Amino acid sequence: MLSFKSYIPVHEEALQEVMSIQQRMKLKQSMRRNKAKIAMGRKRAARKMASAEVLKGRAQKQAKNLIIKKILKNKDKSDLSYGSRAALEKMVAKRKGAIDRIAKKLLPKVRQKDRTKLQKKGN
């Protein structure tokens, strides 16, 4: 059985690589097919304290989303075509240094958020 982590590209190479249109569509189908497994894995992971690597990945994702928001201004990423998304990913990949710096600043907030999430659940 596939694990929850196999659906999330955490590797640095995967973050830098831009997906082709075919790859995006294939991933879309895979996610739809395995949505129940993914949801169960997410539910299990929510009950545990996240590892340092997961927290770093979350901070990276938040930093990347901040950069995307800045590039797109008032547009929504989901409204873009697959080709436009690929172009956007290339633009974001060029700003890797900025993403790393922002992620480093965001890491304490991400860690605190994870702790408060567990405290609210009473774990």
Segments making up each domain of the chain, as ranges: 4-121
State the pLDDT at residue 74: 87
Mean pLDDT for the chain overall: 86
Residue 3: C-alpha distances to residues 6, 78, 120 (Å): 5, 26, 27
3-state secondary structure of 81: coil
Whether the per-residue pLDDT at 11 is higher than 70: the answer is no
Q: What is the pTM of this model?
A: 0.66
Residue 72: C-alpha distances to residues 30, 57, 85, 88 (Å): 27, 22, 11, 9
Structure tokens at 50: 């996240």
Whether the per-residue pLDDT at 30 is higher than 90: the answer is yes
Q: Where does the pLDDT of residue 118 fall: very low under 50, low under 70, confident under 90, or very high at 90 and above?
A: confident
Burial bucket for residue 103 (CB in 10 Å: 0-12, 13-18, 19+): buried
Tokens 């694990």, residue? 3
State the pLDDT at residue 82: 85
Compute the average pLDDT of residues 10-18. Answer: 54
